[in-house]
């Protein structure tokens, strides 16, 4: 009985083996009959080593070297406006003349009194030499002369205040003051800004302070002049860190001969940090960022040496892990994982897997500029 059961069991095992082999052969034939995946079209670029200037980016505000709202110190009626809105003026140039007729008349009266005091003092000194009067009289005459001269100087200052002048050279704003208008002390006449050179104020995190110093090179750009960069140097570093933001304020000075930069403008500021470095560089679109690491697809010639229709070596994709570093514009520095001269896919990675054939078409390529600018179409 036992021998018979073993024979039946062996037959069953043999049957299973035959059926399994037939099924496997069937699956193999089915897989062989599947069409081979078509080559995928991608864009690609060769890995290059480029010079990088490490930079610290910040947002700043353009400020005038000097800026003030010109006002009047004393009240008066506007007799004449001597400037045009938006004009350039030099230090001390007359801007507005107030009516000073009464003040000038008072000055002349005080000057006449001072002249008379001078005459009296001169006459009394002569009489003192003849011992006709006492020394006390001459001393009183001298004190009276000094008092009257002081009144003259005080009145001259009052007359001068009726002439409103530019405190420094710069560019005038737009005024609403007109002849015949009455101005009270402190009323705004016009704004005056010195904008060449010009300042830019910006803040950086406190952890970056160790890499900053006076004289360090900065580059400024803004949307008013796309593609244009303005160069300057750090000229001041605030000795106090803002306790609310833990940022430190800096001030850079930039030449502005064409008056392109205006006070109040928003500015993108980049501060050069240290010496230039050389990095392997790729467009940022070439890197796929994943929780388990960053990857790129490199292109290799087919291992079997197959050729495409044009006689060029067929290319296959291989995914590799990379370590990325700093970024600038459209570019990213790659620290490990690739070597110079390798061909790397820059777009089309989503349809790739290891070993798949690819065709490179660079008729339209992703951006790869270190300083990209918006393009309007």
Tokens of 13: 């095992």
The answer to whether residue 141 sits within a structural domain is yes
Tokens of 118: 């001078």
Contact, 120 vs 143, CB < 8 A? no
The answer to whether residue 315 sits within a structural domain is yes
Other CB atoms within 10 Å distance of the CB of residue 74: 13
The answer to whether residue 377 sits within a structural domain is no
Same domain for 105 and 71? no
What are the residues whose beta carbons fall under 8 Å from the beta carbon of 101, sequence distance 6 or more?
none
CATH number, residue 139: 1.10.287
pLDDT recorded at residue 377 = 42
CATH number, residue 228: 2.40.30.170
The answer to whether residue 376 sits within a structural domain is no
Q: Domain end: 160, 180, 197, which one?
A: 160
Whether cis (ω within 30° of 0) applies to the bond prior to 176 is no
pLDDT recorded at residue 375 = 59
pLDDT recorded at residue 116 = 94
Partners of 203 in the beta sheet? Answer: 249
- Most distant CA atoms of the chain, gap in Å: 173
Same domain for 194 and 109? no
**In which domain, by residue range, is 145 found?**
100-160
The answer to whether residue 365 sits within a structural domain is no
Relative to beta strand 230-241, strand 40-46 is unpaired
Query: Tens place of pLDDT for every residue, the chain, 377 residues?
Result: 566 676 777 676 677 667 666 666 666 666 555 555 678 889 999 998 988 888 888 999 999 999 999 999 999 999 999 999 999 999 999 999 999 999 999 999 999 999 999 999 899 888 888 888 888 988 998 999 999 999 999 999 999 999 999 999 999 999 989 999 999 999 999 999 999 999 999 999 999 888 889 999 999 998 889 888 999 999 999 999 999 999 999 999 999 999 999 999 999 999 988 788 899 999 999 999 988 899 999 998 876 666 666 666 788 899 999 999 888 888 899 999 999 999 999 998 888 888 888 888 888 888 888 777 665 54
CATH number, residue 48: 2.40.420.20
Same domain for 59 and 183? yes
- How many domains are there within the chain? 3
The answer to whether residue 226 sits within a structural domain is yes
Same domain for 143 and 169? no
Same domain for 291 and 181? no
Same domain for 304 and 173? no
Same domain for 85 and 219? yes
The answer to whether residue 259 sits within a structural domain is yes
Same domain for 302 and 193? no
Q: Domain end: 128, 144, 160, which one?
A: 160
Same domain for 185 and 269? yes
Q: Domain end: 228, 256, 275, which one?
A: 275
Same domain for 202 and 271? yes
pLDDT recorded at residue 60 = 94
Other CB atoms within 10 Å distance of the CB of residue 299: 18
The answer to whether residue 284 sits within a structural domain is yes
Same domain for 215 and 297? no
pTM of the model: 0.67
Same domain for 343 and 293? yes
């Amino acid at each position: 009985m036992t021998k018979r059961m073993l024979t039946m069991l062996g037959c069953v095992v043999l049957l299973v083996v035959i059926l399994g082999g037939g099924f496997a052969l069937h699956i193999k034939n089915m897989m062989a009959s599947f069409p081979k995946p078509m080559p995928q079209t991608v864009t690609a670029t060769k890995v290059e080593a480029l010079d990088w200037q490490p930079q610290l980016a910040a947002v700043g505000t353009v400020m005038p070297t000097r800026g003030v709202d010109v006002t009047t110190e004393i009240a008066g009626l506007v007799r004449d406006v001597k400037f045009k809105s938006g004009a350039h003026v030099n230090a001390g140039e007359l801007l507005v003349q107030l009516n000073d007729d009464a003040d000038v008349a008072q000055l002349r009266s005080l000057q006449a009194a001072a002249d008379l005091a001078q005459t009296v003092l001169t006459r009394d000194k002569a009489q003192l030499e003849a011992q006709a009067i006492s020394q006390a009289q001459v001393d009183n005459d001298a004190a009276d002369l000094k008092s009257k001269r002081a009144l003259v100087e005080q009145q001259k200052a009052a007359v001068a205040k009726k002439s409103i002048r530019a405190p420094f050279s710069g560019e005038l704003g737009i005024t609403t003051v007109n002849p015949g208008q009455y101005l009270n002390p402190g009323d705004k006449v016009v704004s005056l800004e010195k904008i060449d050179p010009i300042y830019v104020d910006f803040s950086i995190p406190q952890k970056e302070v160790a890499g900053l110093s006076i004289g360090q090179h900065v580059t400024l750009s803004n949307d008013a002049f796309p593609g244009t960069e303005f160069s300057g140097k750090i000229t001041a570093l605030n000795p106090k860190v803002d306790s609310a933001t833990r940022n430190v304020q800096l001030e850079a000075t930039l030449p502005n001969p064409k008056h392109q930069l205006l006070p109040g403008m928003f500015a993108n500021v980049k501060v050069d940090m240290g010496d230039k470095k050389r990095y392997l560089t790729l467009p940022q679109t070439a890197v796929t960022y994943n929780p388990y690491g960053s990857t790129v697809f490199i292109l290799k010639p087919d291992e079997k040496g197959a050729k495409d229709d044009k006689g060029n070596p067929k290319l296959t994709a291989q995914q590799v892990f990379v370590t990325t570093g700093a970024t600038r514009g459209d570019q990213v520095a790659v620290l490990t994982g690739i070597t110079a001269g390798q061909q790397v896919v820059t777009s089309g990675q989503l349809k790739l897997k290891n070993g798949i054939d690819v065709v490179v078409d660079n008729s339209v390529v992703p951006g790869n500029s270190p300083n990209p600018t918006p393009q309007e179409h």
